[in-house]
Amino acid sequence: MTSTEKANAEKSSLRPTRQRLAVMEAMASFGDFRSAQDIHELLGERGEQVGLATVYRTLQRLADAGEVDVLRTEDGEAIYRRCSDSHHHHLVCRSCGATVEVEGPTVERWTSSIAAEHGYADVSHALEIFGTCPRCR
């Protein structure tokens, strides 16, 4: 089973419960990266009671399905953001977290050619850009 088939299989067995819908709705309501605990808290404020473990589980499912992107803060905490489904990278403000999705063939080509040059196959990559956004300047 390829990873795509597996993802589809998992997705197809997902029931659209109140909790999952609430998490997905919450994810749609902000544009920066937030931790599972942040999202759990946000849900609480909105009056949507969802268990913390369920928030973690749902975010994992969404991440596996590629519907959210996951990053790690400097101290290792996982943070999540709803993202477009096509391959892209992130330009993140170090101060306020404002995030822009960026893409371009340049890096894609560069990483492939570097990997090929060293005989590495089955290549993937992770790239994030950090800076201070115009509003935080």
| Residues contributing to the site for Zn ion (CB under 5 A) | 69, 83
State the Cα–Cα distance between residues 121 and 116, nearest whole angstrom.
7
Are the CB atoms for 50 and 22 separated by under 8 Å? yes
Binding residue for a copy of itself, selected from 6, 25, 84, 110, defined by CB under 8 A: 110
Helix axes 52-64, 18-28, angle to 10 degrees: 70
* Least gap, CB of 7 to DNA (angstroms): 14
Q: Using the rule CB under 8 A, is 106 a contact of a copy of itself?
A: yes
120 binds, among a copy of itself, DNA, Zn ion, none (CB under 5 to 8 A by kind): a copy of itself
Cα–Cα–Cα angle for 31, 82, 121, rounded to 5 degrees: 125
- Residues 65 to 94: which contact a copy of itself by CB under 8 A? 72, 76-78, 91, 93-94
* Least gap, CB of 14 to DNA (angstroms): 4
Closest C-alpha to 51, from 10, 14, 78, 18: 18
Are the CB atoms for 111 and 123 separated by under 8 Å? yes
Give the footprint of DNA on this chain (CB under 7 A): 13-15, 17-20, 35-37, 49-54, 56-58, 60, 75-78
